[in-house]
């Protein structure tokens, strides 16, 4: 008679197991779920992407084929990307953006090509091997500044939280991904870069992706991806 209990526990731990990023926070106001962010395949399962070469590594919408309502965001202002529950896996965060080609509505753009640059990251804190800590852990979401010199126009904004609790084997790192659509106004004349393709930016063998975070405690941590462009 243990079976139903075990099944229930399994369900409960599955429900607890993961998270999604369904909300943008613009001007301090949080959107409803999946309004400004393209609904991801995992909106029910919350399951992560683990194949960094898969098409779903970009926006995770192969099944939903979702687009979103584009939010207006002033350059230089704060933009938040919020999760459906606390991001409790230890790991790091990267936020990338990509500008839709001129004349193309971002709602009908897939973000292909060498077009993505990093605007924000939260890494690990190390001290030579005594301890390692994860400032991105146990957060409800993340807020960053849209670079002041970013040219005005329509962009995809993509978050990835890289959960590293079982990342000691290849493909073990879990990527929690979402793409929002924003229309940047009042921007500048900066040239964002370095530009990367997504997928393409990672192989899965990076020291910050294929890593045992538990033992021995890493003495240092290398954030995956290009440098942040801050404008």
Task: Return the number of the residue (40 or 70) whose C-beta is nearest ligand NAG.
Answer: 70
Task: Return the number of the residue (60 or 221) whose C-beta is nearest ligand NAG.
Answer: 221
Name the site residues for Cu ion (rule: CB under 5 A). 17-18
Question: DSSP string spanning 53-72?
Answer: TSGGGTSS-TTT----PPEE
| Contact partner at residue 191 from Cu ion, ligand NAG, none, CB < 5 to 8 Å by partner kind | none
CA distance 182 to 109: 12
Length of the chain in residues, anyone? 231
| Contact partner at residue 18 from Cu ion, ligand NAG, none, CB < 5 to 8 Å by partner kind | Cu ion
Q: Does 221 bind ligand NAG (CB under 6 A)?
A: yes
Task: Return the number of the residue (88 or 110) whose C-beta is nearest Cu ion.
Answer: 88
Q: Answer whether 173's CB lies under 8 Å from 181's CB.
A: no
Q: Is 157 left (phi over 0), alpha (psi -120 to 50) or beta?
A: beta
Q: Is the peptide bond before 130 cis (omega within 30 degrees of 0)?
A: no
Bridging pattern class, strands 23-26 and 78-87: antiparallel
Task: Return the number of the residue (17 or 228) whose C-beta is nearest Cu ion.
Answer: 17
Q: How far is the CB of 87 from Cu ion (least distance, A)?
A: 10
Binding to ligand NAG, residues 188-207 (CB under 6 A): 207
Stretch that binds ligand NAG, among 2-10, 30-38, 157-165, 216-224 (CB under 6 A): 216-224
Task: Return the number of the residue (83 or 124) whose C-beta is nearest ligand NAG.
Answer: 124
Q: Does 212 bind ligand NAG (CB under 6 A)?
A: no
CA distance 25 to 155: 16
CA distance 23 to 37: 6
Q: How far is the CB of 110 from ligand NAG (least distance, A)?
A: 17
Strand partners, 179: 158
Q: Does 185 bind ligand NAG (CB under 6 A)?
A: yes
Euclidean distance between the first and the last CA atom of the chain, given in angstroms as a whole number = 61
| Site residues (vs ligand NAG, CB under 6 A) | 70, 72, 154, 183, 185, 207-208, 211, 218, 220-222
């Amino acid at each position: 008679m243990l079976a139903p209990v075990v099944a229930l526990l399994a369900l409960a731990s599955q429900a607890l197991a993961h998270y999604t990023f369904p909300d943008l926070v613009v001007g301090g106001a949080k959107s409803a779920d999946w309004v400004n962010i393209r609904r991801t395949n995992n909106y029910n399962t919350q399951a992560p992407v683990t194949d960094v070469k898969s098409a779903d590594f970009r926006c995770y919408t192969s099944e939903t084929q979702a687009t979103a309502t584009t939010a207006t965001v002033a350059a230089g202002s704060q933009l938040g990307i919020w999760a459906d529950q606390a991001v409790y896996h230890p790991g790091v965060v990267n936020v990338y953006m990509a500008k839709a080609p001129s004349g193309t509505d971002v709602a009908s753009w897939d973000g292909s090509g060498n077009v993505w640059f990093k605007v924000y990251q939260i890494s690990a804190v190390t001290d030579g091997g005594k301890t390692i800590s994860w400032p991105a852990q146990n957060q409800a979401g993340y807020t960053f500044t849209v670079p002041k010199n970013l040219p005005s126009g329509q962009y995809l904004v993509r978050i990835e939280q890289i959960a590293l609790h079982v990342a000691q084997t290849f493909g073990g790192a879990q990527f929690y991904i979402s793409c929002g659509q924003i229309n940047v106004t009042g921007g500048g004349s900066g040239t964002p870069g370095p530009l990367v393709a997504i997928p393409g930016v990672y192989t899965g063998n990076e020291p910050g992706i294929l890593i045992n975070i538990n033992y021995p405690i890493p003495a240092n941590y290398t954030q995956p991806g290009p440098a942040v462009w801050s404008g």
